[in-house]
Structures are given as structure tokens and as C-alpha cells.
């Protein structure tokens, strides 16, 4: 069998070069799609890449494990890294540029500026991970400065992050459109995540209670249940079935403000974060109540 040689995207590590290359493409009238990631790419990331290559002339994928968004230093050290394998997954000519800077490139000596997103960074996921969304917002604001993209693509898998980016772009008048993409799941329902590689077979089975709990919430809301407490109790009981998950939170919130709701009235998001052994998993589903 003849193995086809597929071309790797161009790898750039320094901010000045990525800026020059993307600026040049803009001046040539090309539209630019930006897909920020932390690498360890899977089909969830690749779905964002696909959305970008379909909509934009040039796609830039960034691979940067941003230290300032990790509350736990060990979590940052142990985060999966494999740039060569990531580059191969992006081979084939669709992605034009991969920007994979070092922490020193992004935060040179003396860097002190950070961005805060008001109440949104302190609730739900932000409450469990103090400083996380400020780290996310800061690195994205910097990437938006370095790469003059038309559209930036984010997964709804990280729902609160998507809301943070929408807020950031609006509040700082960033001329970039934010495009949210659906969550990609494995056949068994588990949302794809770079952290899934840490799960044993048994833990993976236990983690399936996450999509089950989200489905349960969806079904209850479809059936007309409006009492959030009753639905959350059902979600928690589903998550507690195996007895092996630690629930950081399982709640129903307003889909825009992410403030927890007691009565389901409008667009609502079910948000879950659990720990399976030492692996932390998050997932969500947005729902519309029946009128």
C-alpha cells in the first residue's frame, strides 16, 4: 500500500512571527480563523478546526498550556503534551499555521497585566478554581492581539469559558467574532476531553454517569418539570450511583448569566464538575423549557 505524504502545517513559536504572518494574510484580504487549544488534540478540537476551515481562508491553531489558568501547579505539570502527534493530527493542508509558544514567550519577565471578568469569573467553575478565568481571559486577550483573526472558535464543552470569551470580546471591543461549537462525545456519551486519557476502564464507566445525569435533566425539563431543586436532586443521585465520583457541583443555571436558578423559566444550562480519582471532568447541556 502506498502511504500518502501529508503536509504538516507551519509551526511558529514566536509572537512577532505569528503576528507578521497573520497580518500579511489579512493585508492580502484573507479571512483568519483562530482555534485556541492546550493541545493533546482530539476530535472535539478537530471539530473546531473543521468549522474554522469551512468559514475562513486561513486557520491558525494555537497550542499553549497556559500556566496562569491552572490553580494547581501539579495539574499544569501533568497535563498531557505531545506536539509532534498534534502536528500530525493537523496535517493535510487545511490548517495553515500552528502557534505553539513557550510560557516565556507569552509571559516574558516583568509581565504583570491581567484581565478580570467580574462576577462571571467567581461563580460555578470559577469558585472551584480561583483565578482560572482571569488566566483564560488574559491569555486570550493576548492571543487576540497577536493574531488579528476574524472569527475565534470555541467549544460549548467549556460553557463558562465561552461566556467569558463573549464577555471579554464585547467589553474590550475586540473586533473578533466568537463562534461556539457543539460538544463532541464518544459513542457512549462521554464528552471528549484531553483528560480522558487519565481514566482507567473502570473510571471511564463511572464517568458515564455525567452524560446520564445531563440527559436526565433534559428529560425532566422536556416533561415540564420547573422545580430546579427536584431536577438537581435527580442529577446528584445519578452521579452518586457508582459511589466513586466526587461531585464538585451539579446545578442548573441561567444560560446567559450562569446564576443558579430555582425555577426553570427560560434557557437553562445544566453544569456538572466531578472528580473521578484525581481526574476532574466537566460537562454541560443547554436546555429550553417547554412553553
User: Which positions from 227 through 286 interact with ligand AMP, judged by CB under 6 A?
Assistant: none
CA dist., res. 56 & res. 53, Å (int): 5
Short-list 191, 184, 162, CA closest to 255:
162
- Cβ contacts of residue 7 below 8 Å, gap of 6+? 91, 92, 93
CA dihedral sign of residues 180, 9, 98, 102: positive
- Cβ contacts of residue 284 below 8 Å, gap of 6+? 156, 157, 159, 183, 214, 269, 270, 271, 272
Known catalytic residue: 42?
A: no
Interface pick for ligand AMP out of 193, 203, 206, 268 (rule CB under 6 A):
193
Segment interacting with ligand AMP, rule: CB under 6 A, options 12-20, 137-145, 149-157, 268-276: 149-157
99 binds ligand AMP (CB under 6 A): no
Interface pick for ligand AMP out of 138, 183, 196, 268 (rule CB under 6 A):
183
129 binds ligand AMP (CB under 6 A): no
Minimum distance from CB of 184 to ligand AMP (Å)?
A: 4
Number of residues that bind ligand AMP (CB under 6 A): 17
- Nearest residue (CB) to ligand AMP, 22 versus 47: 47
64 neighbors 76 (Cβ within 8 angstroms):
no
Name residue, grid cell 489558568.
69
Name residue, grid cell 467549556.
158
Minimum distance from CB of 249 to ligand AMP (Å)?
A: 18
192 binds ligand AMP (CB under 6 A): yes
Interface pick for ligand AMP out of 121, 125, 158, 285 (rule CB under 6 A):
158
Catalytic residue among 45, 109, 116, 246: 45
The count of C-alpha atoms lying within 13 angstroms of the C-alpha of 169, restricted to the half-sphere facing its C-beta, is: 21
**Residues carrying an active site annotation:** 45
Residues near ligand AMP (CB under 6 A): 37-38, 44-45, 47-48, 154-155, 157-158, 181, 183-184, 191-194
Amino acid at each position: 500500500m502506498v502511504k500518502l505524504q501529508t503536509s504538516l502545517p507551519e509551526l511558529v513559536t514566536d509572537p512577532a512571527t505569528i503576528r507578521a504572518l497573520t497580518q500579511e494574510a489579512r493585508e492580502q484580504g484573507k479571512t483568519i480563523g483562530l482555534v485556541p487549544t492546550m493541545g493533546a488534540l482530539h476530535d472535539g478540537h478537530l471539530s473546531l478546526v473543521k468549522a474554522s476551515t469551512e468559514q475562513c481562508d486561513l486557520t491558525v491553531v494555537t497550542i499553549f498550556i497556559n500556566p496562569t489558568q491552572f490553580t494547581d501547579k501539579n495539574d499544569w505539570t501533568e497535563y498531557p503534551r505531545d506536539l509532534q502527534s498534534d502536528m500530525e493530527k493537523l496535517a493535510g493542508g487545511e490548517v495553515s499555521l500552528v502557534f505553539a509558544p513557550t510560557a516565556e514567550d507569552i509571559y516574558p519577565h516583568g509581565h504583570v497585566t491581567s484581565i478580570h471578568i467580574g462576577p462571571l469569573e467567581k461563580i460555578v467553575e470559577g469558585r472551584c478554581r480561583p483565578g482560572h478565568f482571569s488566566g483564560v481571559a488574559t491569555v486570550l486577550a493576548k492571543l487576540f492581539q497577536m493574531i488579528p483573526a476574524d472569527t475565534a472558535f470555541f467549544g460549548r464543552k467549556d460553557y463558562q469559558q465561552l461566556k467569558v470569551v463573549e464577555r471579554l470580546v464585547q467589553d474590550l471591543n475586540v473586533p473578533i467574532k466568537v463562534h461556539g461549537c457543539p460538544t463532541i462525545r464518544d459513542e457512549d456519551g462521554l464528552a471528549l476531553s484531553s483528560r480522558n486519557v487519565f481514566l482507567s476502564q473502570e473510571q471511564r464507566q463511572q464517568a458515564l454517569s455525567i452524560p446520564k445525569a445531563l440527559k436526565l435533566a433534559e428529560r425532566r425539563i422536556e416533561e415540564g418539570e420547573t422545580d430546579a431543586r427536584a431536577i438537581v436532586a435527580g442529577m446528584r443521585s445519578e452521579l452518586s450511583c457508582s459511589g466513586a465520583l466526587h461531585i464538585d457541583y451539579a446545578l442548573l443555571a441561567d444560560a446567559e448569566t450562569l446564576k443558579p436558578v430555582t425555577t426553570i423559566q427560560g434557557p437553562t444550562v445544566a453544569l456538572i464538575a466531578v472528580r473521578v480519582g484525581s481526574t476532574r471532568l466537566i460537562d454541560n447541556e443547554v436546555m429550553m423549557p417547554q412553553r
